[in-house]
């Protein structure tokens, strides 16, 4: 029974691969050939010609926020999936979910204390300002 399942899966994978190759080949044969001129290299959006350069640097904080969003968005997906099967998962599932949330909460607290979520100008931390001991 398992050999038949694997054979079916292999046939399906070959069919999908062949279909993908066929689509790419048809697009290459029937697709429009583009001519590279000065006008085709300029950015064009919504009927408005670009003004200025499109090459500029973004702060790494934008990427950091994107990574945080992905992490905590995935957390919401996992919690929603757990909520759908909460009765079947029982107390063991609940404890595992609390451990999962605890780990993510610890990561958030670490990032918060490390200053990764601060967008304003950096200020000197108070914990470094201990008075010097005298002999």
Does residue 69 lie in a domain region?
yes
Beta bridge partners of 48: 45
pLDDT at 94: 93
Residue 65: give the domain boundaries: 58-118
Does residue 43 lie in a domain region?
no
- Which residue stretches of 1-135 are H helix? 2-30, 60-84, 86-114
3-state secondary structure at position 48: strand
Question: What is the tally of structural domains in the chain?
Answer: 1
pLDDT at 65: 79
Tens of pLDDT, residues 7-49: 899 999 999 999 999 999 999 898 877 777 776 777 666 767 6
In eight-state DSSP terms, residue 55 is -
Tens of pLDDT, residues 63-100: 777 888 888 888 888 899 999 999 998 999 999 999 99
Beta bridge partners of 49: 44
Does residue 15 lie in a domain region?
no
Does residue 99 lie in a domain region?
yes
Instruction: Indicate which CATH number applies to the domain containing 113.
Output: 1.20.58.1610
Does residue 105 lie in a domain region?
yes
Does residue 106 lie in a domain region?
yes
Does residue 132 lie in a domain region?
no
Does residue 135 lie in a domain region?
no
């Amino acid at each position: 029974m398992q050999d038949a399942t694997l054979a079916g899966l292999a046939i399906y994978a070959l069919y999908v691969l062949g279909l993908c190759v066929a689509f790419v080949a048809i697009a290459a044969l029937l697709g429009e050939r583009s001519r590279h001129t000065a006008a085709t290299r300029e950015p064009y959006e919504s009927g408005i010609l670009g003004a200025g350069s499109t090459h500029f640097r973004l702060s790494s904080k934008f990427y950091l926020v994107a990574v945080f969003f992905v992490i905590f968005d995935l957390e919401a997906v996992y919690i929603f999936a757990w909520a759908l099967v909460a009765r079947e998962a029982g107390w063991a599932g609940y404890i595992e979910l609390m451990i999962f949330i605890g780990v993510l909460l610890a990561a958030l607290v670490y990032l918060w204390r490390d200053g990764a979520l601060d967008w304003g100008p950096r200020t000197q931390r108070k914990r470094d300002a201990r008075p010097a001991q005298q002999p």
